[in-house]
Amino acid sequence: QVKPQFESKENRRYGTFNAIIYRTQVVAGTNYFIKVQVSDAEYVHLRVFQSLPHENQGPRLDGYQTGKTKDDPLTYF
């Protein structure tokens, strides 16, 4: 659901967009830290915020890091 938000911020289209692993952080909602494969050797890390259910809002891309590799650890940012 956040692929269009990411593509808009990067001003680029991605044919490959596969979530590999994720971590969560509970705040006033949930932060998801997601490692996404965008090409054979290129990965990005996304920080996605999902608000509490009663707020009726979809996931929001709050931050990202590009230039990652398959072996880069997924950390909070």
pLDDT in tens, 5-15: 999 999 999 99
5 secondary structure, DSSP code: H
Q: Are strands 43-50 and 60-68 parallel, antiparallel or unpaired?
A: antiparallel
pTM, two decimals, is 0.91
Give the CA distances from residue 6 to residues 54, 55, 62, in Å, rounded to whole numbers and listed in that order. Answer: 25, 22, 10
pLDDT in tens, 29-73: 999 999 999 999 999 999 999 999 889 899 999 999 999 999 999
